[in-house]
Amino acid sequence: MGVRGIWKGFGGNTADPEDVSDAQDVAARIAAISDSDRLIMLDRVEDAQLAWFWVTDASCRLTYLSAKAVAQFEARRPLIGEPVSNLLQTICEDGNDESVKPMSYLLSARSSFSEQLVCLKGEENTPGGRKWWVVTGRPQFDKRQEFIGYVGTAKDITASYEETRRASRLAEYDALTGLANRHRMNGRLAAALTSSRMEKRSCALVMLDLDMFKHVNDTLGHPAGDELLRQVAQRLLRVAPNGAELGRIGGDEFQLIIPDLDDRGTLGDSANRIIQMISQPYSIEGSRAIIGASLGIAIAPYDGIEPAELAKAADLALYAAKGGGRGQFRFYSNDLKAKAENRREIEEELRDALVTGGLEMHYQPQVCGRDHVVRGFEALMRWNHPEHGAIPPATFIPIAEDSNLINALGDWALKRACEDAVEWPGDLTVSVNVSARQFLNENLPETVRRVLRSTGLPPSRLELEITESVFMGDIGSAESMFARLRKLGVKLAMDDFGTGYSSLSYLRRAPFTKLKIDQTFVRGCVQGENSGSAIIRAITDLARAMNMTITAEGVEAMDELDTMRNLDIDLVQGFIFSRAVRQADVMAKLNSGQLRYEPVGPSQYRAERRTLYRRVGVVHGDHHYVAMLRDLSRTGARIEGLLDVPIGTDLVIDLGEGQIVVATVRRSQDATQGVEFETPLVSDGGGGLCTRHRISPYRLASVGMPLQALPSGTHLAAEVTRGNGTRSRPRFLQVDVGGSASRAG
């Protein structure tokens, strides 16, 4: 029988159904195949690339390899005589899969292996790139059962293997930025949380959302938006903490998974670095753009155990960061849920207040630093809520900005302020705050023109106060808005200079007539090492060179006023002269003919202390007391509720939600103690303070609580420190701290 016939027997493409109908007949025919026919058959198999063959000697050096397989090695190196383990490597050797054994191990075991995925060593950088084979090997033994080498087959599967890899890459990575996509990040988060839970470790999740990205997309176009996202991804890769997994989970949202990090001081520093980095200007297809970033941070197991729970917590924190005015970070805390609901309520009620007349404009004088004569007033919005009383603009303006209500609110404020200002005598100016959202509205110049015409206020008496955030987005469109507004004849002031994305370069880009130095600089001027006044001097020199007037905001104390006078500041605005007052009060003052304001205030600014009144837990020995916390600062606080605690006593204070501080009593009188914290508190990103570390839910689980995210309340320290039932007498007498205070127990 010829090769053709045998081949038919193997189901080759010339097979005749009748020839293979009888299995016994086939077996008989195969048995009858001569050695030379077998060789011909092997040649056919090799030629058809159905399989290649390889043979080694007893030391596993290659003695034969099919010619077409040799060609795959680019025929650049000798193959015969080479150890097979120098030529082929299994995928464990490039660190992909540790469950697979290396080639040298497989061969030295002298057992069979089949369908082993290998790649050709040293061929990665050839034009064809990596090549992938599946190999099968069988050890061969002589009559005395001595190992004489391997015989095996190999097959090239590069094309299909690369295709599978490409498909799985597509499914896992974001095509635009190359970062992990939402699908992959979900998987990574689940894996990270499972392993951190097993090892009782922590894992931080950071949600990041770009501020003003939509604006760039709208003004510069989608290709520019895409380019911006790519650049953001590059910057994030540079600043992401070591060991962090970074992904883009949609639109302008990014996510970081940071295993083994629960120090909120370190996380806050990282968050600030990321915000700084993202906020630097971008150059995109010849245009310049600026965007910002808001970050929400949640940490497992404290804020959530399961992936969905942790992600929800980080989302809420992000929402709070955006609500806080953007360009900020926030840690998750239990009260954010209530706050998020509260925001929706405020939005509704603010809408009502606008139509039902619940809003008012108040006016704060801007006074000449030399003669204390008023030169104008800043219009500040006030909302007197029927139930909650006065709600500060710092709370409701960001909510209005988020809901687009800001345009209606801003139009109303502008109109009311101009109506009131025409009543003022002389050339007193009115300064109206314009939020970044309003500034982006194409119709703003038209609105201003209409209001000026309808009220009859000369444009030179209207000043628009704008913050640096208007430079966010595409700088070109900001510049053209400035030009349109200036053409109307109104003045432009840069508000809050020195906060946020401060950059002197903005000053050159806009025709500002005034620069308002933020309160934080005024404070810094008289406190500490006085670098504040050097900074203010530099800013004022620059502003003067550019023909701008300078206003200092938030002057409260005499020493601050003195400093401003020494620095030759043109205008001063602050409680030292007056708070913002109603139009009726402004008119009364102006009608009296007295345009001078007398400074009234403390001789020195009192260092800021947060006068919180908050219930906290205090643990001493095995006793749990209740106290009121006052004047919280980074390094200490005042507590009220325990009688006659000696100086030097160490207490454990439970600030709530697992925040425990060890504190030493430094001052003590009756039921009030001044305590110093062993470890200073850190910023919570929202102007508040928090502890770096919290009690771990694993720890709580070890004393019998269910493993869950930290609950609200100030009982956890007591839970952990609770003894084994035997109690000593309480050392201190618990006094009433308002309402339901109980005796120590």
The binder of 572, among Mg ion, ligand C2E, none, by C-beta within 5 to 8 A per type, is: none
The binder of 580, among ligand C2E, Mg ion, none, by C-beta within 5 to 8 A per type, is: ligand C2E
Of the candidates 722, 655, 646, 720, the residue with the CA atom closest to the CA atom of residue 682:
655
Shortest distance (Å) from residue 518 CB to Mg ion: 6
Shortest distance (Å) from residue 577 CB to ligand C2E: 9
Burial of 409 (0-12, 13-18, 19+ CB in 10 A): buried
Q: Is 312 helix (H, G, I), strand (E, B) or coil?
A: helix
Look up residue 134 and give its two tokens. Answer: 């599946």
Span of 388-396, 499-507, 532-540, 612-620 interacting with ligand C2E by CB under 6 A: 388-396
DSSP 592: T
User: Total residues contacting Mg ion (rule CB under 5 A)?
Assistant: 5
Residue indicated by tokens 């952990």: 720
156 near Mg ion, judged by CB under 5 A: no
Shortest distance (Å) from residue 472 CB to ligand C2E: 15
Task: List binders of ligand C2E among 664-723 (CB under 6 A).
Answer: none
Entry field: residues in the chain: 745
Span of 93-101, 457-465, 541-549, 665-673 interacting with Mg ion by CB under 5 A: 457-465
CB closer to Mg ion, 282 vs 605: 605
Please, are residues 574 and 555 in contact by the beta-carbon 8 Å criterion?
yes
**Identified binder of Mg ion from the candidate list 211, 252, 465, 468, rule CB under 5 A:** 465
**Identified binder of ligand C2E from the candidate list 56, 66, 217, 435, rule CB under 6 A:** 435
Shortest distance (Å) from residue 546 CB to ligand C2E: 21
The binder of 552, among ligand C2E, Mg ion, none, by C-beta within 5 to 8 A per type, is: none
CB closer to Mg ion, 247 vs 327: 327
User: Total residues contacting ligand C2E (rule CB under 6 A)?
Assistant: 23
CB closer to ligand C2E, 299 vs 522: 522
CB closer to ligand C2E, 185 vs 470: 470
Span of 22-30, 263-271, 447-455, 493-501 interacting with Mg ion by CB under 5 A: 493-501
CB closer to ligand C2E, 56 vs 407: 407
Residue indicated by tokens 């988060």: 189
Tally of CB atoms within 10 A around 201 = 17
**Identified binder of ligand C2E from the candidate list 275, 346, 381, 466, rule CB under 6 A:** 381
Shortest distance (Å) from residue 508 CB to Mg ion: 21
The binder of 393, among ligand C2E, Mg ion, none, by C-beta within 5 to 8 A per type, is: ligand C2E
245 near ligand C2E, judged by CB under 6 A: no
Burial of 364 (0-12, 13-18, 19+ CB in 10 A): buried
Please, are residues 431 and 376 in contact by the beta-carbon 8 Å criterion?
yes
Sign of the alpha-carbon dihedral angle for 555, 556, 560, 565: positive
Distances (CA, A) of 424 to 31, 65, 376, 585: 116, 100, 9, 12
CB closer to ligand C2E, 362 vs 731: 362
**Identified binder of ligand C2E from the candidate list 393, 459, 511, 713, rule CB under 6 A:** 393
In the beta sheet, which residues pair with residue 654?
617, 660
Please, are residues 290 and 501 in contact by the beta-carbon 8 Å criterion?
yes
Separation between Cα atoms, residue 383 and residue 360, nearest integer Å: 6
292 near ligand C2E, judged by CB under 6 A: no
Tally of CB atoms within 10 A around 734 = 21
Give, for 138, the enclosing helix (H) or strand (E): strand 132-141
Span of 28-36, 141-149, 392-400, 418-426 interacting with ligand C2E by CB under 6 A: 392-400
The binder of 540, among Mg ion, ligand C2E, none, by C-beta within 5 to 8 A per type, is: none
Phi, psi of 412 (to 5 degrees): -60, -45
Shortest distance (Å) from residue 390 CB to ligand C2E: 10
Shortest distance (Å) from residue 556 CB to ligand C2E: 4
Please, are residues 547 and 581 in contact by the beta-carbon 8 Å criterion?
no
CB closer to ligand C2E, 296 vs 500: 500
Shortest distance (Å) from residue 610 CB to ligand C2E: 13
Query: What is the secondary structure of 162-195 as a DSSP string?
Result: HHHHHHHHHHHB-TTT-SB-HHHHHHHHHHHHHH
Span of 116-124, 160-168, 552-560, 684-692 interacting with ligand C2E by CB under 6 A: 552-560
Span of 306-314, 472-480, 489-497, 673-681 interacting with Mg ion by CB under 5 A: 489-497
Burial of 308 (0-12, 13-18, 19+ CB in 10 A): exposed
CB closer to ligand C2E, 455 vs 672: 455
Give, for 552, the enclosing helix (H) or strand (E): strand 549-553
468 near Mg ion, judged by CB under 5 A: no
Distance of CA 523 to the CA centre of its chain: 29
Shortest distance (Å) from residue 579 CB to ligand C2E: 6
Shortest distance (Å) from residue 502 CB to Mg ion: 13
**Identified binder of ligand C2E from the candidate list 556, 570, 654, 684, rule CB under 6 A:** 556
Separation between Cα atoms, residue 686 and residue 688, nearest integer Å: 5
Mask 574-603, x = binds ligand C2E (CB under 6 A)?
xx----x-----------------------
Shortest distance (Å) from residue 361 CB to ligand C2E: 7
How do the residues of the chain divide into helix, strand and coil, expressed in percent and rounded to 5?
40, 25, 35
* Largest separation between any pair of C-alpha atoms in the chain: 127
465 near ligand C2E, judged by CB under 6 A: yes
Q: Is 621 helix (H, G, I), strand (E, B) or coil?
A: coil
Of the candidates 519, 517, 584, the residue with the CA atom closest to the CA atom of residue 544:
517
Query: What is the secondary structure of 249-311 as a DSSP string?
Result: EETTEEEEEEET---HHHHHHHHHHHHHHHTS-EEETTEEEE-EEEEEEEEETTS-SSHHHHH
* Chain residues in the site for ligand C2E (CB under 6 A): 364, 380-381, 392-394, 397, 410, 413, 433, 435, 465, 495-496, 519, 553-556, 573-575, 580
* Chain residues in the site for Mg ion (CB under 5 A): 433, 465, 495-496, 553
